[in-house]
Chains A and B, each alone.
Chain A
Amino acid sequence: MRLSILASQLAAFSGRHGQNKRPPEESRPGSKQPKPLGIGVSALLVLPVAAAILLSGSTAGVKLILLMLLGLLVGFVYIVIERRLVKYTLKRLLGSALTLFIIVAVVFILLRQMPIEGYFDNFDKLNETQVNVKLKQLGLTQPIYKQFWDFLVKLFHGDLGSSTRYSAGTPITSIIAKKAPISIYIGLMSMALSLVLGIPLGAAMARSKSGFWDRFGTVFIVLINAVPAAVYYIFIQMYGTSWMGISMLFDRNNWVTWILPVFSMSLGSIASYAMWLRRYMLDEINKDYIRLARAKGVPSRRLMFRHVFRNAFVPMIQYIPASLLYTVCGSIYIESLYSIPGMGGLLVDVIGRQDNPMVQALVMIYSCIGIVGLLLGDLLMAVIDPRISFVKKEGVR
């Protein structure tokens, strides 16, 4: 079965090529071009290095990562200015900030509508006066705009409030600081794994159209996309742990228990990397410039890597910042299945305990990460693809 059509239609729908996200069109003949792909590739190289350093767990390593990120940022800003993308960048930044504000406001207001039990760790034992005193103490009796303003002010000081039920009285930021690193480790490892497996799979599928790899990959992609993740995660846990003869629960100090969570988490991204790369590569293969390159005598291996793969990979780079940032959120399924003390499991926990401030904080963090990820992806794309500030994309947009 051919997935290409699905993919093309999905591409038409995917909001990533949003209408107003397109950079301005201006023609600048003669301006110097930086090597765009070099930047993309070096940005990618940071990933495994960062993962390795994080795993070593030294503070010097963390500083090194920050330094690298700073370097990337400086390079990024340089290119933005150099390629005259400043206006576009500012516009996108502003738009994202606005979206963020709307989301924070909506989430805040919605959660005020929740039953007040969620603000107490011992609601049943309290009488009405005690409840009112506590509510007043929390500032919940004030008008909602006032509450929101206070919340924003606190937010700018890096204070997300305190947990009420999950771990009563603990500042949410410190809970997150404790939970996030493990999610990031696992996330980065699974992302590295999915890049390492997904991209060769996609390339192999594109090369052997309707050959073994294409069939294998198609079956794999169909299974992963069609079957709900919960189902195959549970089955992997069930049979994987008994096959490997290990406990179903995660143990930070036992590396064997890392394998299954990381592997299951990467399956979805392996499938999507493979699917998109295959589609993009097949798109490229049919283009005229590939025919011309073949006609000028470029050997097919070189053609695949230097032309087809490189060009097909560019649109995929767009999704990498978002994937990187999402590692902070962890995987809800994986972390609760294996009892990993990370961010994904945390969300399920606080929902189960109806800890309103925690739910609010986590939901906000999750959506912010989504927005920032998309923003970075679009900016990276604008920087990497020399055409983007120039050519009007044809077709459905």
Chain B
Amino acid sequence: MEEPILTVRNLNLKFSLRGQTLHALRDVSLDVYKGESLAIVGESGSGKSVLTKCFMGLNDQNGFIESGSIRYKGEELTQFRKESDWLRIRGREIAMVMQDPMTSLNPLRTVGAQILEAIELHQKDLTPAQAHRAMLDMLSAVGIADPEKRSRQYPHEFSGGMRQRVVIAIAIACRPNILICDEPTTALDVTIQAQILALIKQLVKERGITAIYITHDLGVVANVSTRIAVMYGGDIVEIGTSEEIFYDPRHPYTWALLSSLPQLGVKGEKLYSIQGTQPNLFAKVQGDAFAPRNPYALEIDFVKRPPMFEISPTHSARTWLLDPRSPKMEPPQIIQKLMRREVSLRG
């Protein structure tokens, strides 16, 4: 692959909450390559949203980057202090689609005005008439019929799916290089989800935008992404191409995630679910964060944090199971079937 456009190295981010410190990102490293579709997968609270918000400086005031670096186009984002720095990035370079379309539009401004605002902010050379034209084009590009009329309406006159299309239109109207889609379909009806995903996929492809999907839904991931990063407890535990993650998963957490996919469940058998809850990030995590919930845990998992083991140039995982000293562990049945590609994911 080519050079990454966004590089994250050993990022540590903490939140201070009422005198306590929450270690939200623990030593995260990640590369994002131009034109790819990267999916970041994890349970809620695993830090996936926090990580992407770092790229845009959108984390809450009480969050602070303790160490590490985020480099984008030769600029060090962790050094940004002033708002004017971030304004060069937000929208213009990296744009975002949020989870809940019902609340992510200003209820008191027309849909058209809200798209127009994005266009005016990022394409300053347009005349008002051109900008208006661009806004209408944007609306039709996201599949809204009769844009002239619809642009004069307020968000409450739109359905959920339509609103998400508007949100996407706003994000695309900024002409970003990277589009972060933060659970773009979670709040939508299942029937609409596929449409919205297809729309994003198509727009991203047409315009050569790098996409980062954040989701807890592996079904979504399978549809759209070329590469997958699995996050757990504020850390990336496994990263690889979609093929590698689905058909050659190495981390027990990835196994657990895949096993709990209903599509993979065997008829008549109880669907697998991961026991327990996520680690308390207020406390210091000792060893592997997943160890307490991991039936495959080794003694060392409770003592020492595993390093990233590289399986292939594109695939690596953070588990002691990959250490040569580790005893041979058999992955669960379903995973073994997956590895033999006996199960289709896209059914």
Do A and B touch (CB < 8 Å)?
A: yes
B34-76 interface (Cβ within 8 A of A): 56, 58
Of listed A295, A314, A390, residue having the most chain B CB within 10 A: A295
B322 within 8 A of A: no
When distances are taken between beta carbons in the complex, the residues of chain B under 8 Å from A310 are 108
Contact assessment for A298 and B121 in the assembled complex, using a CB-CB cutoff below 8 Å: yes
Kindly report which residue of chain B lies nearest to residue A301, judged by CB atoms: B83
A265-321 interface (Cβ within 8 A of B): 287-289, 291-300, 306-307, 310-311, 314
When distances are taken between beta carbons in the complex, the residues of chain B under 8 Å from A29 are 153, 157
**Could you say which of A32, A288, A296, A299 contacts B83, with CB atoms under 8 Å apart?**
A299
When distances are taken between beta carbons in the complex, the residues of chain A under 8 Å from B109 are 307
Contact assessment for B103 and A289 in the assembled complex, using a CB-CB cutoff below 8 Å: yes
When distances are taken between beta carbons in the complex, the residues of chain B under 8 Å from A294 are 58, 90
B217 within 8 A of A: no
B227 within 8 A of A: no
Measured CB to CB, the closest approach of chain A to B134, in angstroms, equals 15
B311 within 8 A of A: no
B291 within 8 A of A: no
Contact assessment for A291 and B152 in the assembled complex, using a CB-CB cutoff below 8 Å: no
CA distance A33 to B157 in the complex (A): 11
A391 within 8 A of B: yes
A91 within 8 A of B: no
When distances are taken between beta carbons in the complex, the residues of chain B under 8 Å from A293 are 106, 117
**Could you say which of B83, B96, B108, B117 contacts A295, with CB atoms under 8 Å apart?**
B96
B152-206 interface (Cβ within 8 A of A): 152-154, 156-157, 167, 170-171, 174
CA distance A289 to B114 in the complex (A): 10
CA distance A29 to B107 in the complex (A): 15
Kindly report which residue of chain B lies nearest to residue A388, judged by CB atoms: B156
Contact assessment for A387 and B156 in the assembled complex, using a CB-CB cutoff below 8 Å: yes
A71-87 interface (Cβ within 8 A of B): none
A395 within 8 A of B: no
Given the known inter-chain contacts A33-B152, A311-B108, please indicate yes or no for A295 contacting B103, CB distance below 8 A: no
A312-344 interface (Cβ within 8 A of B): 314
CA distance A295 to B105 in the complex (A): 12
CA distance A298 to B87 in the complex (A): 8
CA distance A296 to B87 in the complex (A): 9
Contact assessment for A288 and B58 in the assembled complex, using a CB-CB cutoff below 8 Å: no
Measured CB to CB, the closest approach of chain A to B178, in angstroms, equals 12
Mark interface residues in B88-111 (1 if CB within 8 Å of A CB, else 0): 001110011011100111111110
When distances are taken between beta carbons in the complex, the residues of chain A under 8 Å from B154 are 33, 386-387
Given the known inter-chain contacts A296-B121, A296-B171, please indicate yes or no for A289 contacting B153, CB distance below 8 A: no
CA distance A289 to B118 in the complex (A): 13
Contact assessment for B58 and A387 in the assembled complex, using a CB-CB cutoff below 8 Å: no
Measured CB to CB, the closest approach of chain B to A281, in angstroms, equals 14
When distances are taken between beta carbons in the complex, the residues of chain B under 8 Å from A117 are none
When distances are taken between beta carbons in the complex, the residues of chain B under 8 Å from A390 are 156-157
When distances are taken between beta carbons in the complex, the residues of chain B under 8 Å from A296 are 90-91, 95-96, 117-118, 121, 170-171, 174
A158 within 8 A of B: no
A229 within 8 A of B: no
A101-160 interface (Cβ within 8 A of B): none
CA distance A385 to B154 in the complex (A): 11
CA distance A32 to B148 in the complex (A): 12
A37 within 8 A of B: yes
A57 within 8 A of B: no
Contact assessment for B108 and A32 in the assembled complex, using a CB-CB cutoff below 8 Å: no
Contact assessment for A289 and B83 in the assembled complex, using a CB-CB cutoff below 8 Å: no
Given the known inter-chain contacts A295-B56, A300-B83, please indicate yes or no for A289 contacting B152, CB distance below 8 A: no
Kindly report which residue of chain B lies nearest to residue A286, judged by CB atoms: B60
B149 within 8 A of A: yes
**Could you say which of B56, B117, B156 contacts A391, with CB atoms under 8 Å apart?**
B156
Contact assessment for A288 and B121 in the assembled complex, using a CB-CB cutoff below 8 Å: no
B305 within 8 A of A: no
CA distance A295 to B87 in the complex (A): 9
**Could you say which of B90, B105, B152, B167 contacts A297, with CB atoms under 8 Å apart?**
B90
CA distance A387 to B107 in the complex (A): 7
CA distance A32 to B110 in the complex (A): 11
Measured CB to CB, the closest approach of chain B to A292, in angstroms, equals 4
When distances are taken between beta carbons in the complex, the residues of chain A under 8 Å from B56 are 295
Mark interface residues in B124-163 (1 if CB within 8 Å of A CB, else 0): 0000000000000000000000000100111011000000
When distances are taken between beta carbons in the complex, the residues of chain B under 8 Å from A291 are 58, 98, 104
Mark interface residues in A333-364 (1 if CB within 8 Å of B CB, else 0): 00000000000000000000000000000000
Mark interface residues in A21-38 (1 if CB within 8 Å of B CB, else 0): 000000001101100110
B122 within 8 A of A: yes
Query: Can you list 25 residue pairs at the A/B interface with Cβ under 8 Å?
Result: A29-B153, A33-B152, A288-B100, A288-B103, A289-B104, A289-B105, A289-B106, A289-B107, A291-B98, A292-B104, A292-B170, A294-B90, A295-B58, A295-B90, A295-B98, A296-B91, A296-B174, A297-B90, A297-B92, A298-B91, A307-B109, A311-B107, A314-B108, A386-B108, A386-B156
A-B pairs, top 4 by smallest CB distance, nearest first, are A297-B91, A297-B90, A288-B103, A295-B96
Chain B residues within 8 Å of A, Cβ to Cβ: 56, 58, 83, 87, 90-92, 95-96, 98-100, 103-110, 117-118, 121-122, 149, 152-154, 156-157, 167, 170-171, 174
Known: A295-B98, A297-B92, A391-B156. 20 other contacts (CB 8 A): A30-B149, A33-B110, A287-B103, A288-B99, A288-B100, A291-B98, A292-B167, A293-B117, A294-B58, A295-B58, A295-B171, A296-B171, A296-B174, A297-B90, A297-B121, A297-B122, A298-B91, A310-B108, A387-B107, A387-B154
